[in-house]
Chains A and B, each alone.
Chain A
Amino acid sequence: MKVHIPGALRSYTEKSQVEVGGATLGEVLAELDRQYAGIRFRVVDEQDGIRPHIRIFVNGAQVRDLSQPLGAADEVVIVQALSGG
């Protein structure tokens, strides 16, 4: 499936969109980390929580649970929320 990568994470992927497989959001992020080492921990903490200023949308709806089932046609968008100063 397509995963859209925010600017803050393109130092890992070097592109704005990547193709990754997985039956759940957790599996997709794990596969993303296998391809682009280190990217998952920047997005998901050690307790499997999505970090406070990161949002993940699947087909336009926000998802907070890594066990969310996904299909091959789904589109995942990782977004950096407004923060900082």
Chain B
Amino acid sequence: MANPNDNPSAPAKPRSRARNRPVLIAVATRKGAWLYRSTGARKTWQVDGPHFLGHVISHLVLDPRDGRTLLAAARTGHLGPTVFRSDDLGRTWKEAAAPPAFAKADDGTKGRVVDHTFWLTPGHASEPGVWYAGTSPQGLFRSFDGGVTWKPFSSINDDPRYRQWMGTVQDGTPDGPKLHSVIVDPRDPRHLYFAMSGGGVHESADGGGTWTPLMNGLDVVQGFDAADPTFHDPHCIRLCPGNPDRLYQQNHCGIYRLDRPSDRWVRVGRTMPERVGDIGFPLVVHPRDPDAAWVFPMDGTTVWPRTSPEGMPAAYGTRDGGNTWQRLDAGLPRSQAWWTVKRQAMSADAADPVGLYFGTTSGELWMSRDEGARWTCIARHLPEIYAVEAAHPA
């Protein structure tokens, strides 16, 4: 048997078990939400669900600041969007009093309507009640009271320039244009990032009062103007907790890395195998090592099938900041597996070695206890999985 230390994808030693606290996987699907719980060993999983059966749950997130509060972004086929909140790890739920909603338009003008809240981000550690939400169509919202009431960011939602960059619903992704990847710098609650599909990546240094596009170095589809944010389609952006000056991005046009204070993204996906490419939706960063990240490529050729390339799903991981990538498919189907992984449906815990988790469009939940070296399916037959968030409950 090969020495695992010879495997470049295996986690580096030494390992500390002290970090291995119980894990909660929050799974959001097209037909409801499920919670999977395990001890720090992460060998067996206890299922809790469905919650909100029949609701479309776009995102379900545990607040790392208290380890107990869960927020769920929900809607149904008939009913408008809302946010549910639990302060007891999902035993009971209460609906937001004022969910994300655009400002009422002046008489005679057409106002926008939130179709669904798509993305939820807990605020900075020093701001316990603050949450951010991204919606479809694109809007940015903030709550100061733990998700009970939400206020729109006029600096985005009503700004003529941003409205132009967002385009219309018809300019967006097939199930609606999304504002996503809302990121709070762990060193500074006023330093924020977000992304729009389409509409580019944007940064604020003043708590969201003003915003600047952050697109240098990013490609756009051939023939379009890369200087115009409208044509940029970031799929998922992550900031490295181990070095908050480093961000990775899975974009419609490849995998990128950004090292601040530079404002130039570098396409690190060019070293991915040519037959796989560097197109996909999710991207996950290591909780401590900024050189380590994982992606889950999909087929972005021809008509964009959005399936695993050649029906052979695999994660790819880097240990050197994206200079090289290793295929991580041990335990995954070897052929005729045509599912893929959506942008919120891949996540990492903070254990050592890091646990990786992803949910598929075919309703399977997979995990790796060894940073992607081997995968195990821990649930099948769920509805289409929209989001998977691994966290450590109190």
A30 → chain B, closest Cβ, in Å? 14
Asked whether, in the complex, the Cβ of B104 is within 8 Å of the Cβ of A46, the reply is yes
Complex contact B113–A42 (CB within 8 A)? no
Q: How many residues of B contact A (CB 8 A)?
A: 20
Whether A42 pairs with B79 at a CB distance below 8 angstroms is: yes
The answer to whether the Cβ of B330 comes within 8 Å of any Cβ in the partner chain is no
Whether B113 lies near A47 (C-beta < 8 A) is yes
Which positions 75-105 of chain B face chain A at CB distance < 8 Å?
76-80, 82, 95-97, 99, 101-105
Question: Roughly how many angstroms separate A45 CA and B75 CA in the complex, as a whole number?
Answer: 13
Q: Is the CB of B82 within 8 A of A42?
A: yes
What residues of B have a CB within 8 angstroms of the CB of A83 in the complex? 77-78
B276 contacts partner chain A, Cβ-Cβ < 8 Å: no
Chain A 20-63 against B: per-residue CB contact (8 Å), 1 yes, 0 no?
A: 00000000000000000110011111111101011000000000
Q: Answer whether residue A8 sits at the interface, using C-beta atoms and an 8 A cutoff.
A: yes
Q: Assuming the A-B contacts A37-B97, A41-B99, A41-B101, are A49 and B78 also in contact, with contact meaning beta carbons closer than 8 angstroms in the complex?
A: no
A80 at the interface (CB under 8 A from B): yes
| A-B interface contact total, Cβ < 8 Å | 56
> In the bound complex, do residue B79 and residue A43 qualify as a contact, i.e. CB atoms below 8 Å apart?
yes
Residues of A within 8 A of B76 (CB): 8, 84
Binding site for B on A (CB under 8 A): 6, 8-9, 37-38, 41-49, 51, 53-54, 80-81, 83-84
Question: Knowing that A8-B79, A46-B103, A80-B79 are A-B contacts, what are 6 other residue pairs whose CB atoms are under 8 Å apart, sorted by A's residue number?
Answer: A37-B95, A38-B82, A46-B104, A47-B104, A47-B110, A51-B80
Supply 24 A–B pairs (Cβ within 8 Å), ascending by A: A6-B78, A8-B76, A37-B95, A38-B82, A38-B95, A41-B80, A44-B80, A45-B101, A45-B113, A45-B114, A46-B102, A46-B103, A46-B111, A46-B113, A46-B114, A47-B102, A47-B104, A47-B110, A47-B113, A51-B79, A53-B78, A54-B78, A80-B79, A84-B77
